[in-house]
Structure 1
Amino acid sequence: MNDRNSINSNQYWNHRFESDWELNGGCEQSRFFARVAIEALPQWLVHKVRWDNLSVCDWGCAQGDGTETLAQLLSWNVTGIDFSQPAIERAARVHRTAQFLHENLLDCPDRPPFDVLFSSNTLEHFAKPWDVFEQISQYASKFVVLLLPYREFDRHVEHEVTFDSRNIPLSPTPDWVLAYESVVDTRSHEPTYWLGHQILLVYAHTEQLSAQRLALVDARLSAGDSRATGTFAERIVARAPAESSGADEAWAQIDTERLRADEARAQSNAERSRADEAWAQMGAERLRADDAHAQLDAEKSRTAEALTQLDVERSRADRTYVQLEAEKASTQVSQSALATTATQLSALTQECETLRDKLAQSTTEHIRQANAVHVREERIHFLQYREHTLMTEVSTLLATRSWRMTAPLRIVRGIPNWIRRRMNDVNYVYRNGGAWDVAIRSRAFVLKHLQRRDEITPAATVAKLPLAQPYPADQATGTTAVAQAPRTPRALPDIFVFSIIDWHFRIQRPQHLAREFARAGHRVYFFSNHFVDACEPGYSIEQLDDTLALYQVKLNVRSAPAIYFAAPTPEAIEQILAGMRQFSHWSGTDRSWSVVQHGYWYPVATRLQSECVAYDCMDHHEGFGNVPKELLRLEEQMMERADLLVATSAWLEDLARKHNPHVSVIRNAGQYRDFCDAPAERFVDPRGRKIIGYYGAIAEWFDAELVALIAQSFPDALVLLVGADSAAVGDRLARYPNIQMTGEVPYAKLPFYLYSFDVCLMPFRVVPLTLATNPVKIYEYLGAGRSIVGVDLPEMAQFGDLVRIADTHDSFVDEVREALADLPDSQEIVSRRKAFAAGQTWAHRVADFRDAIRALPRPKVSVIVLTYNNLNLTKDCLDSLERYSNDVDLEIVIVDNASSDGSPAHLPAWAASRKNVKLILNHDNLGFAAGNNQGLAAATGDYLVILNNDTVVTHGWAMRMVNHLRNDPELGIIGPVTNNIGNEARVATRYRGLDEMHAEAQTLTDRRLGDWFELNTVAFFCAMLPRSTYERCGPISEDYGVGFFEDDDYCRRVQAAGLRVGCAEDVFVHHHLSASFNKLGEERKRTLFETNRAVYEAKWGRWTPHKYRETTGA
């Protein structure tokens, strides 16, 4: 089957599909035969497949045109399969309704069967078609549907068999029976691609045949065919005696002609075989000649390099000899000083040891103080949260009607004491100063009291405490005093982790993911939820690991708000974005992936022009019960806008898929190497009791009642709880003498306690929050090989028998009892637990994260380049498109308006060498609008770009404009800033060539990253619109002939549709300005302008001339 001359070989069909398949109407034939099959199918089978949602395989689907027809017209779930890689690649690229797989069922792959296997005009290519049927029927469980040429006595050169009623079996194998057949005369179809008959055969599996309960009328076994030909048969019978001898002669002549055809076919195949062999031999000779030339050139190059190297070595040897002579003289001097140096070295070594000890003590003290500072920061944020909550309650109380109504009662109640105090004051003043002094002091007291009531507010009583700043900020720029990172291109994008916690808080998923991204080679910047209270934008940097490119960044935000209690204000967003621009300038970031872990960051992360914005949905935040609705709304918007939505559990996955189609489940994990080995020291119970242990947060989801029951059930065991208690659980468990709580401990100390646990607990309450939880501690428990008992949550199912599961308090206690009774655990179960944990590390999760991002579909952008002469400018434009559009799925549609400068000769070869290019050559200059409309109609992208050929695009131009359109659905069309245009999009530039242009463009746009402004008209030298705008507003108006005013007209239509017109300040496109119009001459341009202005004003009223912005520098 590997011989290319074989009709059924892979090489033969690859060659067909890559050369003449489409030229010979292969696509149209596939659709034609699919429609023939659809018309001939029995209705009971059509309904069966649709109602039972049966899976259908189109075996031998070629380039998928027939498969697409089946899927569209029958609404079937169809999968096309073919053994030709080029055919399947084209099918998957062109057709989106069906799925396509590159497989060869005749190689007996190990795959599950489909319910229905369909094949159109395939078996005739095989000499033993029913042996092939036996092979392929293994991949169908209910029905096999075949469409075959019928009574093809003059066979096609590629066909091996002629099918008629004599060689079509009713039961090809014991398991399959013919349930339906229908003969179709395709000569009457318009158009037709088969001048003869086709037969449709439906074979049913024997089990399915009995289950289907078909009647005789459902089988149609040649009924229609006999009715259609009955009269004709009767005539033949009547004429039979008279024409018998003539028929015999005709059959003999047919046999003779068939023999001649077979001989011609054999001779043709032999000639084709010899030609292919000669061609292959010629190619081999050419390859050998090329290899010989390459080897000769390599030998010449190596010889020249060797001679050069020899000269270099000779010169180096001469210099080395001179240096050795000089060093010999200096060695004698050095030896005399060596003894003195040795004595000094001994003294310095002793001093170094002393300093090392002091440094170790200082480092320990620094770490202790740093930890204390971070603990105080967390305490400050907690107290701020409590103060915020209490002040809200006080404000609510003071605003109630009952408080206002009882105000007189409070005044009356306090009057006696107040009068008594004031009378004592008056008596004292009267005795010491008289009546006049009493009056003066009384007046001053009243005024002071009223003033204090106006000035004192509850908020003024709270002191602002500054946060620690690891590096001092530069007062001039607001940036940190860290050396600027080099501006070198990086192979991997930087990772921006917009975290839900500070790095120095309890080690959890955010820190683990960030560290593993850094270990994978990325630079990782971990943006803390703690802000620096400052009025000016800025940031501070803390390097977290000397061996990794891993940093924590704290941004400046006025009042340093906590991210948990309110959405960011517009002022905070702008200050954060300004700080991020300063930071990106320092870091030299040109590519980034943003990993967002809290909805507060949504308005910031989506404006940073990252290649991917991923929302890492770790928890069901609504389940916490205290999250403000405005933050929940931001989270919902983040889930809908994210390029990738990551869920940590199956429960969260179900929620996520309601908001976003691009969902990936990346569960939590464990840092196996931190837990797999027993520590040198471990916790020891002084009384030697069995230890039932838990570590982690002790919060509102912690089941204190269950732990109390465990303590009661096992009074001779120690219940050891390790972790911060934020829900006053300790107060409820204080009466149990066998419960011990340690409080928060550092992450590094967890193995000290874990390896003392005989049984590990996961005592969670079953609430919406925990239903969505994938617990990290289970992976860590398993990494130590410990025995575990947990509550029945959805995410526990993945651990199988490695974890004991209980769904009630009593059964939980029973499981703990069984776990204690099974101690010590067998080495087999311990090894299985560790093996599972070793395959579920944070490194695995980051690998999954990276794969999920790389698998995301890129937005398809179709760029329409209209050309009219200026071939050199066209070449620069097309080169920049290919060079700077790597972050999108680019389609280029070139429309040439009858250029006379060699463009029609150059462009076809350029377009033919690229798969993503379409070319339209006009014989007449149709004008700007008509030419662009041709390109827009041919474009297939989700985003459409009108681009003049006298432009040069820059790095990231397309993705940045796409992101602006995605971030604001009301934005209907957008353009870039440029060096040369007659409206607000123009910015001042200094560059003198295209090389300088790209560097200056990056500086201009990075300063305004994420910004765009609204203007009245986008000039159509470069404009991007989503397909939705194009479908709402239609093509460009062709009322303006060759050009002028088309862009004004289209922008009025966009605005009339309720959409906005924008200009992206972070996208720059170089523009030569009117290179094509300048060919027309000034007089014709002026006449054209005035004529089209009148056309525009007749539609839209008085035209408003374009103008520059007051400040055109970015």
Structure 2
Amino acid sequence: MRQDTINSNAYWDQRFSHDWESNGGQEQSRFFAEVAIEAMPQWLSNEIKWNKLTVCDWGCAQGDGTEALAQSLCWDVTGIDFSGPAIETAQQRYSRARFLQENLLDNPTRPRFDVVFSSNTLEHFANPWRVFDQIAEYASRFVVLLLPYREFNRHAEHEVTFDGRNIPVAPNPAWSLVYHSVVDTRLREPSYWLGEQILLVFARTEWLAARHFSLADLTLYETREAARAWALDSRRSLEHPFAMAEVHAARVGEQLRTVLAVKEARHARELEIACEELRREQARAGDLDVQLIGERSRAAVAEQRIVVEEERAAQLHLEINMLRAQLETTRAQAEKAKSAASLQDSLDDERDKTRQLSEENATLLAKAHQLEERLHFLQYRERALATEISTLLATKSWRMTAPLRALRGSPDWMKRRLRDVNYAYVHGGARNVLYRSAGCFAKHLKRSRQQPAVVLPAASSAVTMATPVTTASGPASVVARSSPRALADVFVFSIIDWHFRIQRPQHLAREFARAGHRVYFFSNHFEDAKEPGFSVEQLDETLPLYQIKLKVDQAPAIYFSVPAPKVIEQILEGLRLFRQWSGTTRSYALVQHGYWAPVATRLQAECVAYDCMDHHEGFGNVPRELLDLEETMMRRADLLVATSSWLEDHARQYNPHVEVIRNAGQYQDFCHPPVDRFVDRRGRRVIGYYGAIAEWFDAELVARVAEEFPDALILLVGADTAGVAARLSVFTNVEMVGEVPYARLPYYLYAFDVCMLPFKVMPLTLATNPVKIYEYLGAGSSVVSIDLPEMKQFGDLVRIAATHDEFLEQIRRAVTALPDAKRIVDQRKAFAAGQTWAHRVESFRRAIDALPRAKVSAIVLTYNNLPLTKDCLESLEQQDSGVDLEIVVVDNASTDGSADYLVSWAASRPNAKLILNAENRGFAGGNNVGLAAATGDYLVILNNDTVVTRGWARRMVNHFRNHPRLGILGPLTNNIGNEARVETNYVDLPSMHPEAAVLTEPNLGMLFELDTVAFFCAMLPRSTFELCGPLCEDYGLGFFEDDDYCRRVQAAGLVVGCAEDVFIHHHLSASFNQLGAERKRQLLEANRAIYESKWGPWTPHQYRHHGAKRAWRTFA
């Protein structure tokens, strides 16, 4: 019969419902249970009974066997079967045991039993021990199985025959066989199994170790086996005479059969009497075993009680001693209490005085806080006004209108001056008029020289002014530079000045500084000056946080036009001076306005991040050229940060490396109530808002709020730049405070009963992630907002309204719910505590670390000169290239042991490839082999007689990203025959690196166009390689391949350039010098002829003119 049929629910439901009882199912279940009980070792029965272990009878059918187990052994048994009809019948018939309908083979999630018992079940499965593994998961100590044994003529429903060969001692590492007993059930009357049954007891291995199971536990098994052997021997001894009798009977006839039958009956009776006696002896032995175990248990309990009583006696003795000590202490305290009573009255008086002083002190502190806040506000306004004045005075329009201002006051001035002349003439004539006029002129001239046009207030912290530094035109004087800082400096190219309204730029800058970075906050306000330079303001004495103002001619505003080329050049020169002053070796550039794009992308920062805070096109007054520049910045940025989901979708059009880093709140500034807070004189509920009141502010919605809640105060805090005050002036319950300093915001926030965000729905607000929501929630306040995309992240913490009517209804609900439950307030504050600016800076840092690096393949061609090869490879590994660097080494059949070294070197480096040419294929052929094997997006042809410097590859890659027309690029070097050569002073490689930094750091972002890049080091993007193809191999061993390839690059419409911010040390012609002077000359002349046949007369390379004025050279 098919296994899937036998073990199906449908099969057994039909059996239990129709023919189970008619086929003797009840009797068989009880029969096998009794066989199992008889074969069960006494120690197991006692273990289950005494420790009250739980037992599962798996495959219990209609519960007849389960009832027998519970009745005979007093076990706590639960019968389990997957057949519903069977379990229903069992529950109706028996109450001693529990019954559940479950299928343990479906791996249900349920608690374990201590023991799983199963009678005549596993033989129905083709893989019984796999089934054992499944049911054993539901037993914590034992699995007991009763199975047909040596059933060689199998029943139709049985799938397997169990014998000594297929019963494992350890079915799996967790289980071990600890007991087994074979029972011949043919001798029973009545017998429902004409064969043998075997009882198997498996125990968890960990339990065996704890139980110390021994051979003595097999005693009962050995006794039963001995009895069985005796019975079998007795039977054999009886069978022999019977056989003889049969032979004799054949001879003597039918008369002896009666005698033999009588003898057979007598012997059978004797055998039954012997078996019965054996059973009684076994029972007596079991009882004695139980008594012995009981006595041992009682002795152990008695010993435990003695230990407990001894510990209790010791504890009582200790408590008595403690009580005695307490009694002595109490007596001493009683003596002191008499004198303390007289002191208590005077102490109470002193407490009253202290309380009065504390209240007076609190009042004074509150007043001092108010004065401090007022002073802070005035200082803030003073700096803001000074900034505005300096910006105004620096504008061209102010200077051009100076004559008009002078002319505006001229009529009154002329009248006064005519009266003075008339008076002088009357009282002294013409001489007196001339005398007085000269004195007046001298006095006015003296005053104008002594007094400046505008006196600006002193800054709150020291300001350092930097001026341009003149450098010599000759070789750089080498100054030892500091090693790179562990953390990069952060250059924040801001959209606002630091002293403007505190917003995202200031918060991010401060948290970067708190994270250990030096932060330089570049203000959008320039200082008007003809020469480049900068000024520094330290913003916090406890943090490395500075505001930098760059000097730019006519101080242009960044909001109204793109920077002119002269402005870019002056800003870059100012930044060069600034980096010289700051000693910056590593930097991140955080750009917050597109105006800075031409500057930030040339600083060779490790990461250029564009912080897309707003949808600038939504402002409506941004020039098209600035929007185009912003798009360029978004495409070029290494990391494009969006503050909202709307901006994320917009940003992904331009850049794949987009990270959403939303706004946040400075939780510690808002989570604690201030000592002083706004109080409405009339005690009304306060519905409040703080922030800018600009074109996105919905004045009509606020007007409806004022109408709907006439008994509440509508308190608006912020600068009104949209004329909202005029629209709301008709409402007596609306109060507009104006702009206040950031530190003053909690004073008003904690007076708001309900906070609101009444914005218009427009492109600008659809993209915004309001900072104030985080601050509202940081105070635990109730918030009602118009429905914007960014509100979804706040969930139930913010009430959302899609229309004006819904907004009014949500405010009504918020007011009705007051005071808010502590649980809700805690949820709001907990959310805000996890959304701080420190979290956002950490997100910035993780996003920067996760950015993919450009894949660059450096092809190093070697031919002998092993020491130089080692220096080259060592520099590639030690000097941080800032890219994902693949090193492809091609050896041109070296004869100095280079191949053996390179094999060993490449074997331990997963980023290295080694190609060993069987013959010297020349410079072009060898490099072509490496170029074909390279996988990088940028390919570098690098001689083995070079040594690279820190950041070399990243800087060269950045030039290609900044200049799409650039086709191939080389570095500066100490030794080459063209414009890339610069004068150097170093005498060894250790001193080369600091001098290289001095040569290149002032030239960040600079490159110039030249005719030919020498191929000791040349980088080309894969697009150039695919366009121009491999190097021409017509030139044999070498010479003129670089000239030839550069002509092909130029013919393709691309530019050949040299980076002035990358320096590579070069030994020059180390391989060619091995050829000898004459062979080199012949090779040079032959290859020149090949070159000129293709490209015309060769133009010899030239050195650069060192007297030329330094400039920010680039190309269109």
The bucket for the TM-score relative to the shorter chain is 0.5 to 0.7
CA distance in 1, matches of 2:469, 2:1055: 35
Residue aligned with 1:1007, SS:
helix
- 1:797 aligned to 2:788? no
1:478–1:538 CA contact under 8 A, matched in 2: no
Residue aligned with 1:836, SS:
helix
- 1:683 aligned to 2:671? no
Task: Report the CA distance shift for 1:795/1:1099 in structure 2 as closer, same or farther (over 3 A).
Answer: same
> Can you list the C-alpha shifts for 1:254-280, whole angstroms capped at 9, x where unaligned?
xxxxxxxxxxxxxxxxxxxxxxxxxxx
Q: CA deviation at 1:466?
A: 8.2
Q: For residues 620-659 of structure 1, what are the structure 2 equivalents within 5 Å?
A: 620-659=615-654
> Can you list the C-alpha shifts for 1:578-617, whole angstroms capped at 9, x where unaligned?
1111111221211111111000110000000001001010
> Can you list the C-alpha shifts for 1:608-633, whole angstroms capped at 9, x where unaligned?
00010010100000000011111101
- 1:966 aligned to 2:965? no
1:24 paired residue number:
none
* Structure label with greater radius of gyration: 2
1:534 paired residue number:
529
- 1:617 aligned to 2:612? yes
CA distance in 2, matches of 1:130, 1:939: 56
- 1:1005 aligned to 2:997? no
Task: Report the CA distance shift for 1:1093/1:609 in structure 2 as closer, same or farther (over 3 A).
Answer: same
CA distance in 1, matches of 2:373, 2:689: 29
Match of 2:1063 among 1049, 1063, 1068: 1068
1:897–1:922 CA contact under 8 A, matched in 2: yes
Match of 1:594 among 589, 593, 601: 589
Letter matched to residue 1008 of structure 2: F
CA distance in 2, matches of 1:1100, 1:536: 46
Q: CA deviation at 1:369?
A: 6.7
Match of 1:553 among 548, 551, 557: 548
Q: For residues 452-601 of structure 1, what are the structure 2 equivalents within 5 Å?
A: 471-475=463-467, 477=469, 487-601=482-596
1:900 paired residue number:
895
CA distance in 2, matches of 1:386, 1:996: 48
Letter matched to residue 477 of structure 1: V
> Can you list the C-alpha shifts for 1:499-541, whole angstroms capped at 9, x where unaligned?
1111111111111111111111111111111111111111111
- 1:859 aligned to 2:854? yes
1:485–1:588 CA contact under 8 A, matched in 2: no
Task: Report the CA distance shift for 1:581/1:980 in structure 2 as closer, same or farther (over 3 A).
Answer: same
Q: CA deviation at 1:477?
A: 3.2
> Can you list the C-alpha shifts for 1:365-418, whole angstroms capped at 9, x where unaligned?
9967752442214544886899979999xxxxxxxxxxxxxxxxxxxxxxxxxx
2:383–2:457 CA contact under 8 A, matched in 1: no
Match of 1:983 among 955, 974, 978: 978
Letter matched to residue 902 of structure 1: G
Q: CA deviation at 1:360?
A: 13
Task: Report the CA distance shift for 1:382/1:784 in structure 2 as closer, same or farther (over 3 A).
Answer: farther
Q: For residues 125-136 of structure 1, what are the structure 2 equivalents within 5 Å?
A: none
CA distance in 1, matches of 2:481, 2:543: 17
CA distance in 1, matches of 2:1028, 2:1018: 15
Number of aligned positions between the proteins? 697
- 1:813 aligned to 2:822? no
2:81 paired residue number:
none
> Can you list the C-alpha shifts for 1:828-859, whole angstroms capped at 9, x where unaligned?
11111111111111111111111111000011
Q: CA deviation at 1:986?
A: 0.6
Residue aligned with 1:892, SS:
strand
Letter matched to residue 694 of structure 2: A
CA distance in 2, matches of 1:974, 1:130: 72
- 1:374 aligned to 2:383? yes
2:1097 paired residue number:
1102
1:952 paired residue number:
947
2:123 paired residue number:
none
Match of 2:842 among 847, 860, 876: 847
- 1:736 aligned to 2:731? yes
Task: Report the CA distance shift for 1:624/1:1102 in structure 2 as closer, same or farther (over 3 A).
Answer: same
Task: Report the CA distance shift for 1:1047/1:774 in structure 2 as closer, same or farther (over 3 A).
Answer: same
2:991 paired residue number:
996
2:391–2:525 CA contact under 8 A, matched in 1: no
2:391–2:555 CA contact under 8 A, matched in 1: no
Q: CA deviation at 1:814?
A: 1.3
1:1092 paired residue number:
1087
Q: For residues 58-457 of structure 1, what are the structure 2 equivalents within 5 Å?
A: 370-380=379-389
Letter matched to residue 950 of structure 1: D
CA distance in 1, matches of 2:777, 2:666: 11
Residue aligned with 1:556, SS:
strand
Letter matched to residue 694 of structure 1: Y
CA distance in 1, matches of 2:399, 2:694: 20
Residue aligned with 1:633, SS:
helix
> Can you list the C-alpha shifts for 1:682-707, whole angstroms capped at 9, x where unaligned?
00011111111000011110011111
- 1:1014 aligned to 2:1009? yes
> Can you list the C-alpha shifts for 1:795-831, whole angstroms capped at 9, x where unaligned?
0111111111111112111111111111111111111
CA distance in 1, matches of 2:565, 2:1061: 20
Task: Report the CA distance shift for 1:475/1:491 in structure 2 as closer, same or farther (over 3 A).
Answer: closer
Residue aligned with 2:940, SS:
strand
TM-score under structure 2 length normalisation: 0.60
Task: Report the CA distance shift for 1:1024/1:465 in structure 2 as closer, same or farther (over 3 A).
Answer: farther
Give identity over the alignment, percent: 70
Alignment RMSD, CA only?
3.4
CA distance in 2, matches of 1:894, 1:754: 66
Which is further off, 970-979 or 464-473?
A: 464-473
CA distance in 1, matches of 2:672, 2:380: 26
Letter matched to residue 988 of structure 2: G
- 1:667 aligned to 2:676? no
Task: Report the CA distance shift for 1:1024/1:990 in structure 2 as closer, same or farther (over 3 A).
Answer: same
- Gap regions ≥5 residues in structure 1: 1-107, 111-126, 136-358, 393-462
> Can you list the C-alpha shifts for 1:282-328, whole angstroms capped at 9, x where unaligned?
xxxxxxxxxxxxxxxxxxxxxxxxxxxxxxxxxxxxxxxxxxxxxxx
2:767 paired residue number:
772
Task: Report the CA distance shift for 1:799/1:878 in structure 2 as closer, same or farther (over 3 A).
Answer: same
CA distance in 2, matches of 1:684, 1:362: 17
Letter matched to residue 784 of structure 1: A
Letter matched to residue 1091 of structure 1: A
Task: Report the CA distance shift for 1:367/1:486 in structure 2 as closer, same or farther (over 3 A).
Answer: farther
Match of 2:602 among 604, 607, 632: 607
1:946–1:1024 CA contact under 8 A, matched in 2: yes
Match of 2:690 among 669, 692, 695: 695
Q: CA deviation at 1:486?
A: 8.4
Q: Which has the higher contact order (CA 8 A, sep 6+)?
A: 2
1:330 paired residue number:
none
CA distance in 2, matches of 1:593, 1:467: 33
TM-score under structure 1 length normalisation: 0.60
Task: Report the CA distance shift for 1:737/1:620 in structure 2 as closer, same or farther (over 3 A).
Answer: same
Letter matched to residue 1037 of structure 1: C
- Gap regions ≥5 residues in structure 2: 1-106, 110-125, 135-367, 402-452, 472-478, 1111-1116
2:757–2:785 CA contact under 8 A, matched in 1: yes
CA distance in 2, matches of 1:489, 1:360: 44
1:911 paired residue number:
906
- 1:870 aligned to 2:870? no
Letter matched to residue 565 of structure 1: F
CA distance in 2, matches of 1:377, 1:543: 17
CA distance in 2, matches of 1:714, 1:1052: 79
2:1039–2:1083 CA contact under 8 A, matched in 1: yes
